[in-house]
Chains A and B, each alone.
Chain A
Amino acid sequence: MVTLNINQKNYQVDADPDMPLLWAIRDLVGLTGTKYGCGVAQCGACVVHLNGEAVRSCVTKVKRAVGQKVVTIEGLSKNNDHPLQLAWQQIDVPQCGYCHSGQLMSAAELLREKPDPTDQDIDDAMAGNICRCGTYLRIRKAIHLAADMQRNGVKKA
């Protein structure tokens, strides 16, 4: 048994240390907001935060997360009111939605380090998150809006 701290809560899970963190999060803990996309760190659907960094949980092993702080899309905000989540809703960013928990977790890491990102910063941060519906332009728009909300404290429904 290993202990994983996910969204500020400890979970005892019966996981092999070499198990992908994604499997533990989804299958053992039951937090299914994080998605399985490619399994080889190519698409970004499985991004979670490990001590604040946007790691790809499909290739991150459980042993790397033991004793560390994991945050999944369920823990990004208490009431789904992270500026990015509000901006995503306002602009109606997703189409099928499958990649968007990963998109949001990557974007959150960008805003943490760069509260006022340029288009170039967004390209540099987000190019590894693939969206096959092609919502990239709305993602870019929503990140700018979220940055604005974060800066000015504006929260629109």
Chain B
Amino acid sequence: MTKHSERRFQIFPLKTIGTVAVFLLAIALMTSGFKEEKKVNVTPAAGFDAAKDSTASVDAFMQVYKVLMSPRCMNCHPSGDRPLQGNDSHIHTMNVQRGKEGKGLYALKCTNCHQPENAETNHAPPGNPKWQLPPANMKMVFQGRSAHDLALQIMDYNRNGHKNKAMLLEHARDTIVKAGWHMGEGRPAPPLAYNEFVKVWDTWINNGGYAPEK
């Protein structure tokens, strides 16, 4: 009897401990699951510190997003393999193609018409020394992307042209990005002043590069 009681006494706590452990594990998993959902599953580009201020970051990105979706930026980040053109982002005339390097094809390479600087004549091609599309193996599509998807794409080293944090910050200062604000007559600048854009771009990235929720 004593033996039996002892056995029962030994078995009971083990069961309880087991049940409690499973329960705690379930809570832990659920909690971590909620955390993941709130944070949005960002794959941070190399060089990112721990999360900083997700609210400030997302607010800033919503401003960034307005700029990136403007024709001045999006026209060279098309979803297809042909650049877009004009304030209505129609497909570029002349059947211009992306080409492997993003520089056009054969007799229709970007820089055959787009010079290192804007043409002075109205309706003539705008220019920049770096005029091109993203290459075929790294298309960096803006067209059709939601704010959520575009933020994740830009923060993903494997989809952003292999840019780490420093390179992303630098990109806003690149001549081809600046060109969006100076494309000549008839081509309105993006909806934010350039300096404002750099500010929100930096704020977005320096606060962790968070993506807005879907």
- Give me the interface of A with B, judged by CB distance under 8 Å: 39-42, 47, 53-56, 59-61, 64, 105-107, 109-110, 113-114, 121, 123-129
User: Is B119 on the interface with A (CB-CB < 8 A)?
Assistant: yes
Q: Tell whether, in the assembled complex, residue B123 and residue A40 are in contact, meaning their CB atoms are under 8 Å apart.
A: yes
Please tell me if the beta carbons of B124 and A124 are within 8 angstroms of each other in the complex.
no
Are B95 and A128 closer than 8 Å at their CB atoms? Answer: yes
Tell me, yes or no, whether B182 is within 8 Å of chain A by CB.
no
Inter-chain contacts of A41 with B (CB < 8 A):
113, 119, 124-125
Which of chain A's residues have a CB closer than 8 A to the CB of B97? 124
Verify B119–A59 contact, CB threshold 8 A. yes
A137 → chain B, closest Cβ, in Å? 16
Q: CB of B2 within 8 A of chain A?
A: no
Select from chain A the residue with minimum beta-carbon distance to B106.
A125
Give min CB distance, A3 to chain B, whole Å. 20
Interface size range on B against A: 10 to 19
Q: Is B96 an interface residue (CB 8 A)?
A: yes
Closest partner residue, chain A, to B97 (CB atom): A124
Residues from chain A with a CB closer than 8 A to the CB of B123 are 40, 42
Cβ-neighbour of A127 out of B94, B116, B119, B125 (below 8 A):
B94
- Nearest Cβ in chain A — how far from B31, in angstroms? 55
20 A-B contacts, Cβ less than 8 Å apart?
A: A39-B124, A40-B121, A40-B124, A42-B123, A53-B111, A54-B109, A55-B112, A56-B112, A59-B113, A59-B115, A60-B115, A105-B107, A106-B106, A109-B106, A110-B106, A124-B105, A124-B108, A126-B107, A128-B95, A128-B108
Complex-state Cα separation, A59 to B113, whole angstroms: 7
Cα-based distance from A128 to B104 in the complex (angstroms): 12
Question: Interface SS of chain B: helix, strand, loop or mixed?
Answer: loop
Contacts of B107 in A (CB 8 A): 47, 54, 105-107, 109-110, 125-126, 128-129
> How distant is the Cα of A109 from the Cα of B109 in the complex, in angstroms?
11
Whether B95 and A123, one on each chain, are in contact in the complex, defined by CB atoms closer than 8 angstroms, is yes
Interface residues of B in 86-136 (CB under 8 A from A): 94-97, 105-109, 111-113, 115-116, 119, 121, 123-125
**What is the CB-to-nearest-CB distance from A57 to chain B, in angstroms, rounded to a whole number?**
10
Bound-state CA distance A40–B127 (Å) is 13
4 nearest CB pairs, A to B: A125-B106, A127-B95, A106-B107, A128-B94
Q: Tell me the nearest residue of chain A to B122, going by C-beta.
A: A40
In the complex, residue of chain A having the shortest beta-carbon distance to the beta carbon of B94: A128
CB of A70, distance to nearest CB on chain B (Å): 13
- Which residues of A lie under 8 Å from residue B115 when comparing CB positions? 59-61, 64
Roughly how many angstroms separate A54 CA and B124 CA in the complex, as a whole number?
A: 17
Instruction: Give chain A nearest CB distance to B187 CB in angstroms.
Output: 14
B124 to chain A, nearest CB (A): 4
For B119, the chain A residues whose CB sits under 8 A away are 40-41, 59
- B78–chain A nearest beta-carbon distance, Å: 16
In the complex, the answer to whether A128 meets B96 with C-beta atoms within 8 Å is: yes
Residue picked from B97, B106, B107, B109, most chain A C-beta under 10 Å: B107
Contact B116 A64 (CB under 8 A): yes
**Cβ–Cβ < 8 Å partners of A127 in chain B:** 94-96, 108
Question: Which B residues are in CB contact (< 8 Å) with A59?
Answer: 113, 115, 119, 121, 124-125
Set of chain A residues within 8 Å of B124, measured between Cβ atoms: 39-41, 59
Contact of B112 among A53, A121, A124 (CB under 8 A): A53
Q: Which residues of B contact A64 (CB under 8 A)?
A: 115-116
Across-interface contacts of B112 in A (CB, < 8 A): 47, 53-56
